[in-house]
Amino acid sequence: MKFSKRSISYALLAAGLSWTGMAMADDHFSTATDPTWKTECGSCHIAYPPRLLPASSWRALMSGLDKHFGSDASLDPQTAAGVAAFLDKNAGRDRSASRTPVLRITETRWFVHEHDEVPDRAWKNPQVKSASNCTACHVDGDSGEFNEHNIRIPKQK
């Protein structure tokens, strides 16, 4: 049997579309929420959805809040315990093979894979500034909405 170039590209396109559809169905992260988590984890950056890191990573982060990626983000013990419990309960699965917990969401294999099409110049755009700045492109990211159709990569001024 012989396939024409065109039929192969249609098949690939269909496969690509269905894969995108599956990925999109999975792109709303706001299932779990908690007012203290939202306030405390959302004051300097958006409150990153707990399922984006495994429990071991959240535990490591919560035990080093006074040195949080170069900033002091310390909390009083009572508040910290509440946030830690929420993260623990709603954390994602541990997909990494490494024993040391990944601390940055941007270093997870999932993140790297999802963003492999984003051009270098978009990351370097001063309006984006940092890969941690989800809402620079995911306009409704603050409410957990990361759908592919809700992305506006800012234009370089």
Partner 1 sequence: MRVFPILQAAAAAIALFVAGFARAETPGDFLRSYDAAARQDAAEFTGFSAQRGEAFFKSVHGREWSCAACHTQNPLATGKHARTNKPIKPLAPAADADRFTRPDKVEKWFKRNCNDVLGRACTPLEKGDVLSYLMSLGK
Rounded to a whole number of angstroms, the minimum distance from the CB of residue 148 to partner 1 is 23
What DSSP letter does each residue of 62-89 carry, written as one string? HTTGGGBTTB-----HHHHHHHHHHHHH
Q: Does 130 bind partner 1 (CB under 8 A)?
A: yes
Q: Is 77 in the site for partner 1 (CB under 8 A)?
A: no
Of 40-48, 103-111, 112-120, 148-156, the segment contacting partner 1 by CB under 8 A is 40-48
User: Rounded to 10 degrees, what is the CA torsion of 133, 44, 96, 114?
Assistant: -20
Distance CA 63, CA 74 (A): 9
Using N-to-C axis directions, what is the helix angle for 77-90 and 55-62, rounded to 10°?
A: 170
Counting contacts by CB under 8 A, is residue 9 touching partner 1? no
84 binds partner 1 (CB under 8 A): no
User: Residue holding tokens 């890969």?
Assistant: 131
CB of 53 or CB of 136, closer to partner 1: 136
Judged by CB under 8 A, the residue of 72, 116, 117, 120 near partner 1 is 72
Nearer to partner 1, 12 or 44 (CB): 44
